[in-house]
Structure 1
Amino acid sequence: MFAYILRRLAFAAVTLWLATLLVFGALLLIPGNPAQAILGIDATPADVAALEHRLGLDKPPLERYLNWLGGVLRGDLGQSIRYETSISGLIVARLGITLPIVIAALLLATLIAVPLGILAARRVGSWADIAVSLGSLVGIVLPSFWAGLMFIYIFIVWLKLPLPSSFPIGGWKDPARAIAALVLPVLTVGLASSSLLVRLVRGSVLEVLHQDYVRTALAKGLSERVVLYKHALRNAALPVVTVLGLEFAQLLIATVVVETVFGIPGLGSLSLLAISARDYPLVQGVVLTIAAFIVLLNLIVDLLYALLDPRVSYA
């Protein structure tokens, strides 16, 4: 087990290093002069040269990459051009808003999807199964921005609930208001994620219920509830764990839409501002951060697989 963990950690480290190559290489592939693109066509050659020197663009690519990689290893992603401050500090501050949304949304999605998926699998072909399947299909096809706008209209305009329509300027200095401001974004993201998860849970449980060991356990006289929750559900959880890990990473990217609708200053809105302002160092830092989360989550999923399924080989 220990050797297996070390191998997965080494693989994750190599993957993250390759991600730094891809992120840095993408900046090199941008057509034209990045400094000229940032400053615009009206910039003077002196201004362009000054920005190139500030960003280190006047150095050879290999030297620039090694300098940037050294900063990444120290937790320093450079300086933002738009905000003129540390990129690492900006990302950490925005993650403090985005991560609670993603974590709470996935928790909500799991609490919704697992019971409904099990119900649909146990009552396959019934009205309950049809209703769950139709509801999940509607949740999948509805755009998240439209659902967010409808939630604003229903809960704030129509029901007049005392929910903030945007995140407070003071951030988490006012925890009650900050949490209230995240209720609708979490609901929007959580319901969208649960629509996909409920279909996955239903299909996974349905497949496991037709396995030989389940039929054998039922034939021995064990109740359906005991067989389902003690034997079948653990194996059915394997694909769900995989999708949850991927969904977590996906939501870090997809929150740009929800954060824009609800006025949430999170990582998604930061990436949008960085792209619109052509703040390439900030874009580079945000992309690398998301890539690091994807690598970390894949590592966690691999380790959870080994815990959930004894058939996973440690050799």
Structure 2
Amino acid sequence: MWPYLVRRFAVALATLWLASSLVFLALLIIPGDPASIILGFGADPERVAALQARLGLDKPPLERYVLWYAGALRGDLGESIRYSSPVRSEIARGLSVTLPLVLAALTLATLISVPLGILAARRAGSWLDVGISAGALLGIVLPSFWVGLMFIYLFIVQLDLPLPTSFPIEGWRDPQRALLALVLPILTVTLSRSALLVRMVRGSVLEVLNQDYVRTARSKGLSERAVLYKHALRNAALPVVTVLGLEFSQLLIAAVIVETVFGLPGLGSLSLTAISARDFPLVQGIVVVLAAFIVLANLVVDLLYAYLDPRVSYA
């Protein structure tokens, strides 16, 4: 197993290096001088030159790449132009909001969708199955921003629940208010993710229940519960694990919608601010960190696949 783990880690590191290099190259080939774009094309040449020196743009591209990569390996992603603070500090502040939102929503969505998907598969063709499938389809087609606005209207305007409509300025130093501010965003994300996962679990369980080895287990006189939980669910979990890995990656990128609706200072909102302010060091750092999380999620999925599927070779 260890050679397999080493290979997967090596592939993950190579992928991360390639992604970070492509990010650097993309910013390198952007037409025009980044310093002039940031300051405006009518800016004083001395200010432009000073910003070029601050960003390291006065050095040859290869030297800039080596310096940037060496700094990234030390955890130094440069300095944000807009905030005049280390990029890693701004990213850490955004992640402190986005990561709890994404992880809590995915956990809650899994706890909801797996039982519902199994129930729909076991009662395939029944009214219960039709109701669950219809509800899942409705959850998929409803836009997240609309669901978020409806939650605000229902729970805060109509029911007058004491839920804050924005994240506290002091952040997690006020944990109670911070947690309350995440309740509605988590429910919003959970609704759409649960809907997709319910359909995935139902389809996967139905496919496995029609396999020969399941019919053989039934013919031996095993109870339906034993057939389902001892023989079917492990194989049915394989596509679900894959989707969960993809969902985690997509939510990190798409969180900007929910964060905008609820006024959350997460990584999505920070990305929009960095792009609009042409804060290239911050944009570069955010993309690299997102790429690292996506590579890590795919690595975890690969390892879970090897654990769940005995056909995966460790050799």
Per the normalisation by structure 2, the TM-score is 0.98
Q: Which residue of 1 aligns with 2:2?
A: 2
Q: Deviations for 1:127-177, whole angstroms, at most 9, x for unmatched residues?
A: 111111111111111111111000000000001111111111111111111
Q: Which residue of 2 aligns with 1:196?
A: 196
Secondary structure (helix, strand or coil) at the match of 1:7 reads helix
Superposed, 1:245-284 pairs within 5 Å as 245-284=245-284
Q: Which segment is superposed worse, 274-283 or 123-132?
A: 123-132
Displacement after TM superposition at 1:273 (Å): 0.5
Pairs aligned (count): 315
* Amino acid across the alignment from 1:230: K
- Consecutive unaligned residues of structure 2, counting only runs of 5 or more, are none
Q: Which residue of 1 aligns with 2:217?
A: 217
Displacement after TM superposition at 1:42 (Å): 2.4
Q: Deviations for 1:39-98, whole angstroms, at most 9, x for unmatched residues?
A: 112212222111111101111111101100001100010000000000011111211111
Residue 123 of structure 2 corresponds to residue 136 of structure 1:
no
Residue 230 of structure 2 corresponds to residue 230 of structure 1:
yes
Residue 270 of structure 2 corresponds to residue 296 of structure 1:
no
Q: How many angstroms apart in 1 are the aligned matches of 2:147 and 2:39? A: 38
Q: Which residue of 2 aligns with 1:181?
A: 181
Q: How many angstroms apart in 2 are the aligned matches of 1:37 and 1:28? A: 13
Superposed, 1:42-57 pairs within 5 Å as 42-57=42-57
Q: How many angstroms apart in 2 are the aligned matches of 1:314 and 1:304? A: 13
Question: What's the % identity of the aligned pairs?
Answer: 73
Q: Which segment is superposed worse, 106-115 or 36-45?
A: 36-45
Displacement after TM superposition at 1:115 (Å): 0.9
Q: How many angstroms apart in 2 are the aligned matches of 1:25 and 1:200? A: 38
Q: Which residue of 2 aligns with 1:31?
A: 31
Q: Which segment is superposed worse, 60-69 or 123-132?
A: 123-132
Give 4+ residue runs of structure 1 displaced > 6 Å after superposition: none
Displacement after TM superposition at 1:294 (Å): 0.6
Superposed, 1:83-232 pairs within 5 Å as 83-232=83-232
Q: How many angstroms apart in 1 are the aligned matches of 2:258 and 2:40? A: 30
* Amino acid across the alignment from 1:50: A
Secondary structure (helix, strand or coil) at the match of 2:77 reads coil
Q: How many angstroms apart in 1 are the aligned matches of 2:198 and 2:66? A: 45
Superposed, 1:3-18 pairs within 5 Å as 3-18=3-18
Residue 295 of structure 2 corresponds to residue 313 of structure 1:
no
Per the normalisation by structure 1, the TM-score is 0.98
* Amino acid across the alignment from 2:256: V
Displacement after TM superposition at 1:226 (Å): 1.1
Q: Which residue of 2 aligns with 1:79?
A: 79
Residue 287 of structure 2 corresponds to residue 287 of structure 1:
yes
* Amino acid across the alignment from 1:232: A
Q: How many angstroms apart in 2 are the aligned matches of 1:2 and 1:277? A: 46
Displacement after TM superposition at 1:285 (Å): 0.3
Q: Which segment is superposed worse, 129-138 or 242-251?
A: 129-138
Q: How many angstroms apart in 2 are the aligned matches of 1:95 and 1:79? A: 17
Q: How many angstroms apart in 2 are the aligned matches of 1:50 and 1:168? A: 36
The two structures, once aligned, show a CA RMSD in angstroms of 0.8
Q: Which residue of 1 aligns with 2:70?
A: 70
Q: How many angstroms apart in 1 are the aligned matches of 2:155 and 2:204? A: 35
Q: Which residue of 2 aligns with 1:19?
A: 19
* Amino acid across the alignment from 2:175: P
Q: How many angstroms apart in 2 are the aligned matches of 1:301 and 1:53? A: 42
* Amino acid across the alignment from 1:181: A
Q: How many angstroms apart in 2 are the aligned matches of 1:108 and 1:231? A: 25
Q: How many angstroms apart in 1 are the aligned matches of 2:273 and 2:139? A: 28
Q: How many angstroms apart in 1 are the aligned matches of 2:240 and 2:199? A: 10
Q: How many angstroms apart in 1 are the aligned matches of 2:181 and 2:191? A: 17
Q: How many angstroms apart in 2 are the aligned matches of 1:123 and 1:58? A: 67
Q: How many angstroms apart in 2 are the aligned matches of 1:188 and 1:181? A: 12
* Amino acid across the alignment from 1:20: S
Displacement after TM superposition at 1:29 (Å): 2.2
- Consecutive unaligned residues of structure 1, counting only runs of 5 or more, are none
